[in-house]
Chain A
Amino acid sequence: MNKIVFMSLLAGVSLFSANYSSVISSPNASKLIQKDLLAPATKYTMPAGCITKDPNAIARGAFIFHNLNGKKAKKKPPKGLSRKQMKPGVTYHQGDKIPAKQYGNCIACHNIEGAHGAGNIGPDLSNYKKTYIDSGARNYQFVFQKIADPRIDNPKTNMTVNLTTKLFTTKEICEIASYIVSPK
Chain B
Amino acid sequence: MKTGIKIVLSIALFSSLSFSNEQFAMSDADRAMYAEMSENNPADIMVADGEELLDYMGGDEGLAKYLGVTEDELPAYIAGFPRYIKKFDMVVGLDQVIQAMMHDTGKKPFKLKSGNMFSLLAYVKSIANGEKINIDVNANAQMKAAYTLGKKTFMTKRGGRGLGCISCHSSDVVGSVLRTQPLPDLGAKGVASAATWPAYRMTKSSLRTLQRRFQGCMKNALIKVIPLGSPEMVALEVYLTAEAKGSKIAIPGLKR
B173 lies within 8 A of A158 (CB): yes
**B side interface size, CB within 8 A:** 48
B232 lies within 8 A of A33 (CB): yes
Give, as a whole number of angstroms, the nearest-CB distance from B79 to chain A: 21
B25 lies within 8 A of A117 (CB): yes
List chain A residues, Cβ under 8 A from B183: 121
Chain B at the A interface: SS class: loop
Instruction: Report the tally of A-B residue pairs with Cβ distances under 8 A.
Output: 124
Judge whether A10 is part of the interface by a CB distance below 8 angstroms: no
List chain A residues, Cβ under 8 A from B160: 91-93, 102, 165, 167
Judge whether A1 is part of the interface by a CB distance below 8 angstroms: no
A4 to B181, CA, bound (A): 44
Residue on B nearest A25 in the bound complex, by CB: B229
Q: Size band of the A side of the interface?
A: 35 or more
Judge whether A118 is part of the interface by a CB distance below 8 angstroms: yes
Chain A at the B interface: SS class: loop
B222 lies within 8 A of A29 (CB): no
List chain B residues, Cβ under 8 A from A167: 160-161, 222
A25 lies within 8 A of B158 (CB): no
A164 lies within 8 A of B103 (CB): no
B96 lies within 8 A of A24 (CB): yes
A20 lies within 8 A of B87 (CB): yes
B residues 121-161 with Cβ under 8 Å of A? 153, 156-161
Judge whether B217 is part of the interface by a CB distance below 8 angstroms: no
B100 lies within 8 A of A20 (CB): yes
A160 to B179, CA, bound (A): 14
Ordered by A's residue number, 28 sampled pairs between the chains whose C-beta atoms are within 8 Å are A23-B100, A24-B88, A24-B90, A24-B92, A24-B100, A24-B229, A25-B96, A26-B231, A27-B227, A28-B231, A29-B226, A29-B231, A33-B232, A36-B158, A36-B223, A102-B160, A117-B180, A119-B179, A120-B176, A121-B168, A121-B178, A158-B168, A158-B170, A159-B167, A160-B163, A165-B162, A167-B160, A167-B161
Given contacts A24-B88, A25-B228, A165-B160, 14 further A-B contacts (CB under 8 A): A18-B87, A18-B89, A20-B88, A20-B100, A25-B227, A26-B90, A35-B224, A36-B158, A36-B159, A36-B224, A108-B178, A119-B176, A165-B162, A167-B222
